[in-house]
């Protein structure tokens, strides 16, 4: 039966104004979804072809769309949400997704499509196929989020440690370069070490870098070093070795701390020169002990990796480890590791439990489940925001194919402002047409002249 004729026949057979308006509203909803520019043409066509099944359901169960748990509504939402993953028909995984959609269309065209249980079966089959196809991606995402949680734990603890450093009686704030290093990168090193020691039941991990902090602060005290210049000369090589080792334990390029090492070298040399004690041959900053490098080699060491650690690197998995922006995001925050959940994502086939809008710096807000286009490695990717850390300092997006993109809150804010992250959908395709459909439907009380407020 032609679609127009089916609509007219169902409205003639309607026994209540609620049924009649539900039919009109479903027609409007399907029409808007089938013409939504965010959905690819093949997806639009499948949705348009499915209208007869939803019209018949609107006749037998006019309240179906007011029930968020109804299989028919969930089926439409699932199709719409998963469709947003693909920006082009050539995107990875789209061909398989389209085959699943065509399977859904075939089941909806079969007899009994006006029955709620039939829609439940179709939804279950669609979700099972999707879960099987994306099981490996889910496990990869699970591992990434766990690693990011550990990063956030370390960042919060580093903030606390930086406050402890500032409060030390042997800490001198006069040198801003030294202070920035100790309350930034070195607090990260100490936080990682402290977490490792606290979780180690074997006694293997030792607080080596924490001891280095005391020695370093002593070496910067001119009054102390002038009285014990030989001790200073003896300590310098081991201090440098541990400083470098600590930074390398974070995979942090030594180049990022070049200013600190140069300042430290100047202070140490000045102290030793004043006392007439020769500077140790292995006291060159950023030079491994017993392996002094030439100036050319050092310049190469400092320059290595600079291009790989620019703003763009924040989109790569776990690059957020290098961020010290936690102090800008969580002033005065105290860590509560016992309450940090290990994983917030949903398993394949489960419906994501979208939380209220999460705040992203300034006036820009993003919601879990939002779809965006983002620029990574000079290429645009369609991705979904499917994880926000407990303290909202780290965000993870996932592209079709399982590629993850993680970044800190300040970096995400910057990318949003610069147009390097473009929001495609915050609330899903269906939400964009609810208001229009509500004005044309009771969606479900079945009483003439009474409009439902539960759309």
**Hey, what CATH class is 314-425 in?**
mainly beta
pLDDT for the residue numbered 357: 39
Cα→Cα distances 342→63, 211, 229, 292, Å: 39, 31, 49, 44
Report the length, in residues, of the chain: 455
**Cβ(19)–Cβ(59) below 8 Å:** yes
Local structure of 218: helix, strand or coil: helix
pLDDT for the residue numbered 237: 92
Exposed (0-12), middle (13-18) or buried (19+): which is 197, by Cβ within 10 Å? middle
Report d(CA 405, CA 243) in Å as an integer. 30
Report d(CA 119, CA 125) in Å as an integer. 10
pLDDT for the residue numbered 10: 86
The domain ranges of the chain are 3-134+431-438, 145-310, 314-425
The stretches of 256-394 forming alpha helices (DSSP H) are 258-275, 295-303, 326-329
Report d(CA 323, CA 451) in Å as an integer. 52
- What is the enclosing helix (H) or strand (E) of 394? strand 394-398
User: How many other C-beta atoms are found inside a 10 Å radius of the C-beta of residue 115?
Assistant: 14
Report d(CA 136, CA 365) in Å as an integer. 30
Q: Tell me the pLDDT of the chain (455 aa) as tens digits.
A: 788 888 888 888 888 888 888 888 888 888 888 898 989 999 999 999 989 998 888 888 888 777 788 898 889 889 988 898 898 998 888 998 999 999 998 888 876 566 788 899 999 999 888 877 766 666 677 777 777 888 888 888 988 999 999 988 888 766 889 999 999 999 999 999 988 888 877 766 777 888 899 999 999 988 888 888 899 999 999 999 999 999 988 877 788 888 999 999 999 988 888 877 776 665 555 443 333 333 333 233 333 222 222 322 233 333 333 333 323 333 333 333 333 333 334 444 444 333 333 444 444 578 888 899 998 888 898 999 988 887 788 898 988 777 888 888 888 888 898 899 999 887 656 655 554 445 444 444 434 334 443 33
Please state whether the predicted TM-score (pTM) of the whole model is above 0.75.
Answer: no
Spatial neighbors of 186 by CB under 8 A, at least 6 apart, are: 165, 209, 213, 243, 246
Measured in whole angstroms, the distance separating CA 446 from the mean position of its chain's CA atoms is 44
pLDDT for the residue numbered 422: 92
For residue 34 the two structure tokens come to: 């089938």
Cα→Cα distances 445→25, 27, 247, 259, Å: 14, 18, 65, 71
Report d(CA 214, CA 168) in Å as an integer. 10
Report d(CA 293, CA 286) in Å as an integer. 9
- Rg, the chain, Cα only: 30
């Amino acid at each position: 039966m032609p679609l127009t004729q089916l609509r007219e026949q169902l409205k003639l057979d309607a026994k209540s104004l609620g049924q009649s308006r539900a039919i009109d509203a479903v027609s409007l909803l399907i029409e808007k979804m089938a013409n939504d520019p965010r959905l690819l043409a093949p997806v639009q066509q499948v949705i348009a072809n499915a209208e007869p099944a939803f019209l018949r359901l609107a006749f037998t169960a006019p309240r179906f769309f007011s029930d968020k748990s109804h299989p028919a509504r969930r089926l439409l939402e699932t199709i719409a949400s998963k469709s947003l993953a693909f920006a082009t028909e050539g995107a990875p995984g789209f061909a398989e997704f389209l085959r699943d959609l065509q399977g859904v269309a075939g089941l909806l065209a079969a007899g009994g499509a006006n029955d709620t249980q039939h829609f439940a079966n179709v939804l279950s089959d669609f979700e099972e196929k999707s879960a099987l196809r994306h099981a490996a991606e889910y496990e990869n995402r699970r591992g990434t989020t766990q690693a990011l949680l550990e990063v956030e734990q370390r960042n919060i603890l580093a903030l606390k440690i930086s406050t402890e450093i500032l409060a030390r009686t042997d800490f001198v704030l006069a040198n801003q370069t030294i202070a920035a290093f100790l309350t930034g990168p070195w607090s990260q090193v100490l936080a990682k070490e402290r977490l490792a020691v606290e979780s180690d039941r074997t006694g293997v991990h030792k607080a080596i870098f924490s001891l280095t902090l005391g020695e370093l602060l002593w070496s910067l005290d001119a009054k102390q070093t002038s009285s014990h210049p030989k001790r200073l000369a003896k300590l310098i090589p081991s201090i440098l070795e541990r400083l470098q080792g600590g930074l390398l334990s974070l995979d942090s390029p030594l180049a990022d701390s070049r200013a600190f090492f140069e300042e430290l070298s100047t202070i140490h040399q000045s102290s030793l020169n004043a006392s007439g004690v020769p500077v140790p041959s292995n006291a060159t900053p950023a030079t491994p002990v017993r392996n002094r490098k030439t100036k050319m080699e050092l310049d190469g060491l400092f320059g290595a990796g600079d291009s790989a650690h620019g703003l763009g690197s924040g989109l790569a998995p776990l690059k957020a480890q290098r961020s010290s922006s936690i102090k800008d995001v969580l002033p005065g925050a105290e860590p509560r590791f016992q309450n940090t959940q290990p994983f917030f994502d949903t398993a394949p086939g489960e419906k994501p439990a979208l939380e209220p809008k999460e705040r992203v710096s300034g006036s820009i807000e993003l919601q879990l489940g939002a779809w965006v286009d983002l620029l990574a490695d000079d290429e645009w990717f369609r991705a979904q925001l499917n994880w926000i850390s407990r303290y909202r300092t780290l965000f993870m997006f996932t592209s079709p194919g399982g590629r993850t993109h993680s970044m800190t809150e300040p970096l995400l804010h910057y990318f949003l402002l610069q147009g390097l992250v473009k929001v495609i959908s915050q609330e899903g395709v269906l939400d964009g047409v609810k208001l229009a459909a509500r004005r044309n439907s009771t969606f479900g009380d079945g009483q003439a002249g009474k409009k439902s407020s539960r759309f």
